[in-house]
Every structure is written in C-alpha cells, then in structure tokens.
Amino acid sequence: MKCPHCSGRTAVGLDTHSGGFTSEESPVKECGACGLVWRIKMEKGAAKLDIIKQVI
C-alpha cells in the first residue's frame, strides 16, 4: 500500500488491538519512510483516510 503522505511503499501493518485502533476491515499501517500512521476505514459505504499520527 502506498503512503498517503510521501507515496513510499514500505508500509508496515501494526497490531494495536489493545489500543482499539485496528480491526480486520481497517488495519493500521505505518510508513517506514516518513513515519505516518494511518488506516483506511469505511464510513457510509465510502473509504475514508484516517490519520492517527501526523508526520513531524
């Protein structure tokens, strides 16, 4: 998956079930290049980008 910030392709899936961020339908990803943390979630049938941690 391509990073929505830097377009890098070194995204890593994060297992953060205890934090309540991830689920099977919208897993949390972290970019290995810039550090952005995001997920794509479905809202009212449309895919929405959800930024969890901004790039500094």
Q: Which residue has the higher pLDDT, 1 or 52?
A: 52
Task: Kindly list the domain boundaries of the chain, sorted by start residue.
Answer: 11-53
Residue 10 has pLDDT above 90, yes or no: no
Residue 23 has pLDDT above 80, yes or no: no
Quote the DSSP letter at residue 34.
Answer: T
Name the band, by pLDDT with cuts 50, 70 and 90, for residue 13.
low
pTM above 0.85, yes or no: no
Long-range contacts of 6-9 (CB under 8 A, 24+ apart): 6/31, 6/33, 6/34, 6/36, 6/55, 8/32, 8/33, 8/34
The C-alpha atoms of residue 53 and residue 51 are separated, in whole angstroms, by 6
Residue 50 has pLDDT above 50, yes or no: yes
Mean pLDDT of 12-40: 72
